[in-house]
């Protein structure tokens, strides 16, 4: 069911266009550029004028004369050379609002082309703590996953761990260097493993022989050395457990916890296929696929490096093969830093040459960086990369400045307050990220992002909690929701804003841009504030107005909760603020 007002008007226009023998592809409206003149406008007459060899105003008059016969329109007029202005009757809008409230999807249609989408949006590395650089891939990827599922697609999300490259050999080499062997490996926790990696990284930068030892161990690990693989399995498990805790706090879900190691065998198959198709060639000791014959020539893909190890791109190429053959993916979306754009261009083109996933749409959604006030990537006070866990703690501390303690408010335990702080802090972090377009970086504003006013997550959460309070008070006064009737401008404006929901979600889906939803959620919350300031429920002029406004309030509350869910944000039942804030 599609209850968008423009979709319903388009249906009416299509019938009229057919009756007039006009091309129906121009039977479309958009929200009016002049809301003071009309609700919607149709510009089709101008395009049709060239086809019909007639004056556009003449065509517009024909269309308008038919529209005037429709009792759902309060006014039909023509402006300028042939713009058709359409104003709907309040009764028609109210009827659509009632239907929207009764529909569990709020009148938002599902996509016509349902298919299986695989989303790759994690990319954490084993033995390294998640840092602020991992925030956007997790937050954006989760929002896209939820939007894809909401429009009706089947979705499989994969974290795609970095668990098989040289860093593994570096850690094992460092453990051997310090302990003499790997016997104690299975006793080490994530902090100790991370410490080994940091030392190994420094050592390999300063000592070429240490780097070579790490390379030899990596090759032996990948060739199946049982001692190395046993130790590696522990490193991987401990790291994954730690990573999952961070993702759980962010409420980010992955169906699959596969990594580069899972594509090792498939990488060998890719090499064999490249050779059989005559695409592989030797170059300075390496085995490569050239990409110079495309419209945009690119550096070659290195299948096997001169030292005998697999190249950087081949794991992603092999993973595409697996996602096509094992998961039956019809679309693959990569949510990865935009600085990796060339890498994915190479991977996609090589995969196409190798015919690994025929017909599969592949898209890299590149995001910008999270920056500090200096415009550089967000760091700790001592200049190090900010761990994600520390960022969340900073955010929770900031939120606590505005939230009363359990001792300061009746009916709430310390556990209740902690949960509320977490919901607001995570919501603030995510909304600050998702209110920005994906491709742009943004400044992480610790002082502003958790405020209860302005374009923030807490502002939307507070709007929902405020409506919850209104609904409770209405119930105490025996006011129940009834049929919607629009009696003033604020009610009408909010209803028209609600009617944009379907287009908003479908556009966010088509453009893979969650910021479209965050913008809409903010403006809808603002529209509710204007509505409630002028349209009292408790002191309405009559019972019918009270019942209508209550139903509108409930509808806005439910839509805002749905929008926050699509952004991966929880909506607390209540919001508490310290007095004076």
CA dist 225 and 307 (Å) reads 18
CA dist 232 and 171 (Å) reads 9
* Cβ within 8 Å of residue 459, ≥6 positions away: 451, 452, 453, 522, 525
444, 432 Cβ separation under 8 angstroms? yes
- Lookup result for tokens 């970095």: 162
3-state secondary structure of 15: helix
Q: How far is CA 278 from CA 302, 316, 353, 354, in A?
A: 15, 21, 11, 10
Report pTM.
0.94
pLDDT score, position 372:
80
Number of C-beta neighbours around residue 574 at 10 A? 16
- Lookup result for tokens 């015919």: 355
Mean pLDDT by 10 residues, the chain (581 residues): 93 96 96 92 94 93 96 96 96 97 96 97 88 90 98 97 92 95 94 92 92 92 94 95 93 95 95 96 94 85 90 95 98 96 96 97 94 75 74 92 91 94 95 94 82 92 96 96 96 96 97 98 96 94 96 98 98 86 55
Q: Which region holds residue 180: left if phi is over 0, alpha if psi is between -120 and 50, else beta?
A: left
Counting Cα atoms < 13 Å in the Cβ hemisphere of 337 gives 11
* Max Cα-Cα span within the chain: 90
Neighbour-count burial of 274, counting CB atoms closer than 10 A to its CB (0-12 exposed, 13-18 middle, 19+ buried): buried
Strand 280-283 to strand 370-371: parallel, antiparallel, or no bridges (unpaired)? unpaired
CA dist 183 and 67 (Å) reads 82
3-state secondary structure of 116: strand
Alpha carbon distance, N-terminus to C-terminus of the chain: 43
CA dist 9 and 72 (Å) reads 10
Supply 237's token pair.
Answer: 């498990």
CA dist 424 and 401 (Å) reads 12
Supply 509's token pair.
Answer: 């889906």
Bridge partners of 107, per DSSP, are none
88, 492 Cβ separation under 8 angstroms? no
Q: How far is CA 462 from CA 15, 62, 319, 570, in A?
A: 44, 49, 43, 11
Number of C-beta neighbours around residue 281 at 10 A? 14
| CA nearest to 42, candidates 19, 57, 24, 60 | 60
Q: How far is CA 45 from CA 61, 62, 64, in A?
A: 9, 10, 10
Supply 427's token pair.
Answer: 């919501």
Supply 68's token pair.
Answer: 């005037």
CA dist 490 and 16 (Å) reads 32
CA dist 519 and 436 (Å) reads 9
Q: What is the DSSP letter of 85?
A: E
pLDDT score, position 255:
97
Q: What length is written for the chain?
A: 581
Instruction: Report angle CA 419, 237, 166 to the nearest 5 degrees.
Output: 120
118, 156 Cβ separation under 8 angstroms? yes
Supply 549's token pair.
Answer: 């406004």
Q: How far is CA 416 from CA 258, 400, 403, 428, 568, in A?
A: 36, 13, 11, 18, 21
CA dist 249 and 76 (Å) reads 53
Neighbour-count burial of 29, counting CB atoms closer than 10 A to its CB (0-12 exposed, 13-18 middle, 19+ buried): buried
CA dist 145 and 101 (Å) reads 25
pLDDT score, position 379:
66
CA dist 518 and 536 (Å) reads 27
């Amino acid at each position: 069911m599609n209850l968008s007002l423009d979709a319903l008007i388009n249906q009416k226009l299509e019938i009229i266009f057919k009756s007039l023998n006009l091309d129906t592809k121009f039977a479309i409206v958009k929200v009016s550029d002049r809301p003071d003149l009309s609700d919607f406008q149709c510009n089709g007459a101008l395009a049709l004028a060239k086809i019909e060899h007639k004056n556009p105003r003449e065509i517009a008059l024909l269309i308008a004369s038919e529209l005037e016969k429709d009792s759902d329109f309060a006014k039909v007029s023509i402006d300028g050379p042939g713009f058709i202005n359409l104003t709907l009757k309040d009764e028609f809008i109210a009827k659509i609002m009632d239907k929207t409230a009764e529909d569990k999807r709020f009148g938002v249609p599902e996509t016509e082309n349902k298919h299986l989408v695989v989303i790759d949006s994690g990319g954490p590395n084993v033995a390294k703590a998640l840092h602020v650089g991992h925030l956007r891939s997790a937050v954006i990827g989760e929002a896209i996953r939820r939007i894809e599922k909401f429009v009706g697609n089947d979705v499989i999300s994969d974290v795609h761990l970095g668990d098989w490259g040289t860093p593994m050999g570096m850690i094992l080499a460092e453990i051997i260097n310090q302990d003499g062997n790997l016997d104690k490996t299975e006793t080490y926790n994530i902090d100790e493993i991370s410490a080994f990696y940091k030392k190994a990284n420094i050592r390999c930068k300063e000592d070429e022989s240490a780097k070579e030892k790490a390379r030899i161990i990596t090759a032996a690990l990948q060739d199946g050395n049982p001692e190395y693989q046993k130790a590696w399995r522990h490193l991987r498990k401990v790291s994954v457990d730690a990573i999952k805790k961070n993702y759980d706090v962010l409420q980010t879900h992955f169906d699959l916890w596969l990594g580069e190691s899972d594509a090792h065998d498939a990488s060998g198959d890719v090499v064999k296929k490249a050779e059989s198709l005559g695409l592989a060639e030797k170059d300075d000791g390496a085995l490569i696929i050239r990409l110079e014959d495309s419209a945009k020539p690119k550096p070659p893909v290195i299948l096997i490096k001169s030292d005998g190890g697999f190249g950087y791109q081949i794991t992603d190429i092999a993973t595409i093969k697996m996602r096509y053959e094992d998961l039956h993916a019809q679309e693959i979306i990569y949510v990865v830093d935009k600085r990796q754009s060339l890498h994915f261009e190479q991977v996609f083109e090589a995969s196409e040459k190798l015919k690994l996933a025929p017909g599969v749409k592949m898209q890299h959604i590149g995001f910008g960086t999270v920056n500090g006030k200096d415009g550089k990537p967000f760091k700790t006070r001592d200049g190090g990369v900010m761990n994600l866990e520390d960022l969340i703690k900073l955010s929770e501390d900031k939120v606590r400045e505005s939230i009363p303690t359990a001792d300061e408010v009746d009916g709430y335990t310390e556990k209740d307050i902690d949960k509320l702080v977490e919901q607001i802090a995570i919501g603030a972090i995510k909304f600050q990220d998702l209110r920005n377009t994906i491709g742009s970086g943004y400044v992480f504003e610790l002082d502003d992002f958790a405020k209860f006013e302005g374009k923030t997550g807490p502002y939307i959460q507070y709007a929902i909690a405020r409506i919850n309070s209104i609904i409770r008070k209405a119930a105490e006064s025996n006011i129940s929701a009834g049929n919607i009737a629009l009696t003033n401008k604020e009610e009408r404006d909010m209803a028209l804003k609600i009617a944009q929901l379907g287009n908003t979600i479908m556009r966010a889906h088509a453009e893979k841009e969650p910021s479209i939803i965050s913008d809409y959620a903010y403006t809808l919350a603002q529209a509710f504030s204007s509505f409630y300031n002028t349209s009292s429920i408790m002191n309405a002029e009559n019972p019918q107005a009270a019942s209508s406004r209550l139903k509108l309030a409930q509808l806005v509350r439910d839509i805002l909760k749905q929008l926050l869910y699509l952004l991966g944000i929880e909506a607390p039942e209540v919001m508490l603020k310290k007095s004076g804030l």
